[in-house]
Amino acid sequence: MDSPLIRIDDKHVPLYRIVWVADVPHFCGEPDCMHEGDYEVRLDVDDSLWTGANERDEVISALAKWCSDPRGEEGGDWM
């Protein structure tokens, strides 16, 4: 992992702050909603960022890489 930070919109966010990432775009039906069709990236402390599908996929990839086993898929003895 090169960096524990990911850029979402115009912010550099530490990966450890991300709680979950929406799988479907936001739809509330409110006429003045500014996030229709955006994906929510939920952060700790009741905070959220909104992004498009491409950035959402980048966040998911970065989280998967950050959370993966550094030894790889082979497993093997580690003791």
The mean predicted confidence, pLDDT, of the chain is: 89
Burial, 3: exposed, middle or buried (Cβ in 10 Å; 0-12, 13-18, 19+)? exposed
Give the pLDDT confidence of 11-64 residue by residue, as tens digits: 999 999 999 999 999 999 999 999 999 999 999 988 999 999 999 999 999 999
Of the pLDDT bands very low, low, confident and very high (cuts 50, 70, 90), residue 72 is low
Supply the pLDDT for residue 69: 67
Domains of the chain are 5-67 (2.40.50)
Burial, 26: exposed, middle or buried (Cβ in 10 Å; 0-12, 13-18, 19+)? middle
Supply the pLDDT for residue 68: 84
CB 40 within 8 A of CB 48: yes
**Using CA atoms, how far apart are residues 16 and 44, in angstroms rounded to an integer?**
9
